[in-house]
């Protein structure tokens, strides 16, 4: 009877040992995959951080003239990027230590990051669709109130090499631009920021509308240039946010199953 019990116990121990040996390689494999994910995840955080800083410093200066301007958007990207960089480093430590609880917490956090990134990507793509209307309304408002604060509009016209909304003649529609008189005649004008040259020695003829003056001023409107430039930038930003979001979602699933595998391995060793 005792021999039978000993044989049964021996079989159980052998079965558990076999299970542990089967589980251990799975855990190590998942740890390796998780470390690869952590490195890529950390790099994506750096990318998002760089995109946020670039958006704030360069891209959003142009959007200030649009009615869809949201000053806080770049800071969201900067915050997400910084958090991902920090969590990516902590995730490596959690994976190396192999404790299931921090890995479960990491999985939950990755789900939250996935939702935020996905929402940001959708929001950026939605904003892209509003660019046409936003810049049209914003440029019209800026031109109508040109005499009050013209620094931004002048900067945009110089930077984008453009004048007016659709073309330079938009300025002749009773805008608040200083007028000129010559021989008792009144001439409409465009702002001096429409001039191709800043050199005072090269006199810019910006009174009109006279076709011969087109040689001295920018003739293309700002609206299409702005929509094409900003739209061409927001599209990739939205796509990158969505792509990284889906990648983060896969990481959350991987972290969850890694935690389950470690739990299982720990239980089998204790049992």
CB-based contact 165:264 (threshold 8 Å): no
pLDDT of residue 177: 63
Residues 6+ apart with CB under 8 A from 229: 62, 160
Domain residue limits, the chain: 18-134+234-270, 135-223
pLDDT of residue 221: 92
pLDDT of residue 207: 60
CB-based contact 202:145 (threshold 8 Å): no
Return d(Cα 174, Cα 142) in angstroms, integer: 13
pLDDT of residue 16: 46
CATH 1.10.1450.10 fits 135-223, yes or no: yes
CB-based contact 122:239 (threshold 8 Å): no
Q: Which residues does the chain have with pLDDT short of 50?
A: 1, 6-7, 10-11, 13-22, 270
pLDDT of residue 224: 92
Partner residues linked to 189 by β-bridges: 207
CB-based contact 46:86 (threshold 8 Å): no
pLDDT of residue 248: 84
Return d(Cα 203, Cα 76) in angstroms, integer: 46
**pTM score, whole prediction:** 0.72
Q: What are the CA-CA distances from residue 166 to residues 29, 82, 236, 267 (Å)? A: 60, 40, 26, 71
pLDDT of residue 222: 93
pLDDT of residue 12: 52
């Amino acid at each position: 009877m005792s021999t039978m019990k000993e044989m049964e116990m021996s079989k159980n121990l052998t079965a558990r040992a076999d299970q542990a040996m089967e589980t251990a390689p799975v855990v190590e494999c998942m740890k390796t995959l998780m470390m690869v994910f952590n490195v890529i995840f950390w790099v994506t955080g750096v990318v998002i951080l760089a995109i946020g800083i670039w958006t704030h410093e360069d891209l959003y200066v142009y959007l200030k003239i649009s009615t869809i301007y949201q000053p806080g958007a770049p800071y969201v990207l900067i915050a997400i990027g910084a958090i991902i960089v920090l969590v990516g480093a902590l995730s490596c430590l959690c994976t190396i230590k192999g404790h299931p609880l921090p890995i479960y917490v990491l999985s939950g956090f990755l789900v939250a990051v996935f939702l935020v990134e996905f929402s940001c990507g959708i929001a950026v793509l939605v904003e892209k669709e509003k660019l046409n209307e936003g810049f049209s309304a914003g440029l019209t408002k800026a031109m109508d109130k040109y005499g009050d604060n013209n620094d931004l509009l002048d900067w945009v016209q110089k930077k984008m090499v453009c004048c007016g909304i659709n073309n330079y003649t938009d300025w002749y529609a009773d805008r608040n631009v200083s007028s000129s008189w010559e021989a008792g005649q009144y001439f409409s004008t465009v702002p001096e920021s429409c001039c191709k040259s800043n050199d005072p020695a090269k006199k810019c003829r910006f009174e009109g509308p006279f076709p011969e003056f087109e040689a001295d001023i920018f003739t293309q409107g700002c609206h299409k240039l702005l929509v094409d430039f900003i739209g061409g930038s927001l599209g990739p930003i939205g796509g990158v946010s969505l792509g990284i979001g889906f990648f983060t979602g896969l990481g959350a699933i991987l972290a969850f199953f890694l935690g389950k595998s470690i739990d299982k391995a720990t239980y089998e060793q204790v049992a």
